């Protein structure tokens, strides 16, 4: 994955916040946690004909208090949907004393919502720097 070193640095950062964009709608994200982990495949595969997955992936847990995202979740979720929409997670990080505007292109794997917040579990497809 291009720019993976920035993503690897982000796994060690705490207090990340940002904006989650789905098509023309944006939602404030209060916390972002990124980790690299294995996924349950034994060999690289194509998921839904949309993106290629390896045996490890960067996963994101993003928390928002904007409950207006709840009606959007069924059409964003991976799974029975074949036309799921990419979700852009935008944040800024400082690496080597340089401010980087990072956009993670992600897909929603699952979500948990309460009366106060929504926790989104996302898998990173690619990373863009600006």
51/88 Cα distance (integer angstroms): 15
User: Which residues, at least 6 apart from 74, have a Cβ–Cβ distance to it below 8 Å?
Assistant: 81
7 vs 64, more confident: 64
The mean pLDDT value for 93-102 works out to: 84
pLDDT tens profile 34-85: 999 877 655 555 655 555 556 678 999 999 999 999 988 877 876 655 666 7
Length of the chain measured in residues:
130
Distance CA 60, CA 123 (A): 6
CATH number of domain containing 107: 2.30.110
∠ CA 32-42-49, nearest 5°, is 70
9 φ, ψ (degrees, to nearest 5): -65, -35
The pLDDT score that the predictor gives to residue 81 is 59
Q: Quote the domain boundaries for residue 16.
A: 4-129
Spatial separation of the C-alpha atoms in residues 10 and 115, rounded to whole Å? 29
For the chain, percent of residues with pLDDT exceeding 90: 45
The mean pLDDT of the chain is 84
d(CA 103, CA 57): 16
3-state secondary structure at position 128: strand
- Number of domains, the chain: 1
pLDDT (mean) for 16-40: 91
Higher pLDDT, 117 or 126: 117
Element (DSSP H or E) covering residue 10: helix 4-10
């Amino acid at each position: 994955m291009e720019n993976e070193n920035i993503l690897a640095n982000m796994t060690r950062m705490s207090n990340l916040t940002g904006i989650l964009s789905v098509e023309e709608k944006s939602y404030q994200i209060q916390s972002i946690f990124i980790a690299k982990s294995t996924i349950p495949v034994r060999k690289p595969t194509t998921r839904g004909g949309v993106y290629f997955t390896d045996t490890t992936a960067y996963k994101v847990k993003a928390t928002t208090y904007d409950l207006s995202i709840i009606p959007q979740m069924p059409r964003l979720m991976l799974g029975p949907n074949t036309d799921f929409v990419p979700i852009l997670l935008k944040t800024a990080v400082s690496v080597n004393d340089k401010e980087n505007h990072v956009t993670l292109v992600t897909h929603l794997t699952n979500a948990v919502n309460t009366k106060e917040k929504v926790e989104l579990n996302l898998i990173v497809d690619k990373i863009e720097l600006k």
